């Protein structure tokens, strides 16, 4: 039974990560401002998740206290603006660049845990994080003297998106006992209200294939993907989740190359490797052999 659950969880998470890897295409092909894209993602996603939560019986007021409501709201602010910044980065850099830099998010979770929860970080984790940021410099080619302002802006947007997602992750860990699908529904519903003042909905044509891409972001990447992902999270251990999560950027980079011809230099490829390796290492608590670690007491 456990083996079957594990197998089912792997299939669900792989499917979710493959879907995640196609987000950049939908955002790019919608040809809309980032605020408009996220607004419609929230709208179509809310419609689908409302139906799902109704069927599952998740729509209960008993889940909400003053504390949980505030945490859900905080997480919602971070989630929707994380999407806005990430989607902005696609247009200013590339899907590949935005996605790779977005995957510095695990390091922000670790770093934020130090001042917020007084968590102790091992010397090995500090070294892995430093190695990842060296990789970030390689990937972004920041050592180049001919960087354009728009490119640097895109890099900063993707890093800001990763930082906000790190905060949202910390908030989500403190929301115990509430169905994650209901949390997501509340957050994207709040997102529509937050984003509306920044949108230019009057500029969105009433007819056109952009509606296919916008509706897809809501149905596929917010409803179906989240259902698969959260179901998998309940069945798999953290280490397996951390490794399988790298299917997302791998698919995104492959599709960006096939459809838009985005290529990385060998130097940037080394940077990608450093970021991904460091992220897995931080999630799996890998230690450097030359760094002294405290040995567990033997009873």
CB of 17 closer than 8 Å to CB of 244: yes
What average pLDDT does the chain have? 89
Q: Is 115 exposed, middle or buried (0-12, 13-18, 19+ CB in 10 A)?
A: exposed
Angle, to 10 degrees, between the axis of helix 2-20 and the axis of helix 247-260?
30
CA distance 56 to 54: 5
Per the document, the length of the chain is 299
Q: What is the gyration radius of the CA atoms in the chain, in angstroms?
A: 20
pLDDT over 60 (residue 76): yes
Alpha helices in the chain (DSSP H): 2-20, 23-30, 34-56, 66-92, 95-102, 105-117, 123-140, 149-173, 180-195, 210-218, 225-233, 238-244, 247-260, 266-284
Q: Which residue has the tokens 């696609």?
A: 90
Tokens of 34: 């980032």
CA angle 244, 96, 131 (to 5 degrees): 70
Give residues with Cβ within 8 angstroms of 173, minimum separation 6. Answer: none
pLDDT over 50 (residue 106): yes
pLDDT over 50 (residue 152): yes
Instruction: List, for residues 3-51, the tens digit of each pLDDT value.
Output: 788 889 899 999 999 999 999 999 999 999 999 999 999 999 999 999 9
pLDDT over 50 (residue 298): no
pLDDT over 70 (residue 214): yes
- Predicted confidence at residue 1, as pLDDT, reads 47
3-state secondary structure of 237: coil
Mean pLDDT for 247-269 is 92
Mean pLDDT for 253-266 is 92
CA distance 156 to 114: 23
CA distance 213 to 30: 5
Instruction: List, for residues 161-180, the tens digit of each pLDDT value.
Output: 999 999 998 998 888 889 99
C-alpha dihedral, 231 to 235 to 237 to 238, nearest 10°: 10
Give residues with Cβ within 8 angstroms of 192, minimum separation 6. Answer: 39, 42, 43, 46
Nearest partner of 280 among 230, 228, 225, 242, judged by Cα: 242
Give 33's DSSP letter.
-
C-alpha dihedral, 162 to 47 to 29 to 249, nearest 10°: 30
Q: How far apart are the first and last CA of the chain?
A: 33
Q: Which residue has the tokens 């001919």?
A: 146
């Amino acid at each position: 039974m456990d083996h079957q659950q594990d197998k089912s969880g792997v299939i669900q998470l792989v499917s979710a990560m493959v879907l995640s890897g196609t987000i950049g295409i939908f955002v790019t092909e919608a040809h809309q401002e980032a605020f408009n894209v996220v607004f419609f993602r929230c709208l179509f996603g809310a419609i689908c998740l409302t139906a799902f939560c109704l069927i599952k019986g998740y729509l209960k007021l008993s889940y909400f206290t003053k504390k949980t409501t505030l945490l859900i709201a905080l997480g919602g602010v971070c989630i929707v603006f994380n999407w806005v910044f990430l989607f902005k980065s696609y247009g200013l850099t590339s899907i590949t660049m935005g996605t790779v830099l977005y995957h510095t998010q695990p390091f922000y979770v670790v770093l934020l845990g130090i001042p917020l929860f007084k968590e102790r970080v091992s010397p090995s984790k500090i070294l892995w994080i430093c190695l990842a940021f060296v990789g970030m410099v390689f990937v972004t080619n920041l050592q180049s003297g001919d960087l354009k302002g728009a490119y640097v802006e895109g890099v900063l947007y993707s890093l800001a998106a990763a930082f906000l997602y790190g905060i949202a992750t910390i908030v989500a860990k403190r929301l115990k006992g509430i169905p994650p699908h209901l949390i997501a529904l509340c957050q994207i519903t709040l997102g529509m209200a937050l984003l509306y003042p920044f949108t230019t909905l009057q500029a969105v044509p009433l007819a056109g294939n952009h509606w296919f891409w916008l509706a897809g972001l809501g149905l596929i990447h917010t409803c179906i993907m989240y259902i698969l992902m959260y179901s998998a999270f309940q069945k798999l251990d953290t280490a397996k989740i951390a490794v399988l999560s790298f299917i997302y950027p791998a698919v995104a980079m492959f599709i960006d190359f096939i459809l838009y011809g985005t290529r990385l230099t060998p130097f940037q490829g080394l940077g990608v490797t450093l970021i991904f390796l460091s992220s897995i290492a931080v999630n799996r608590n890998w230690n450097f052999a030359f760094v002294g670690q405290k040995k567990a007491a033997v009873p």
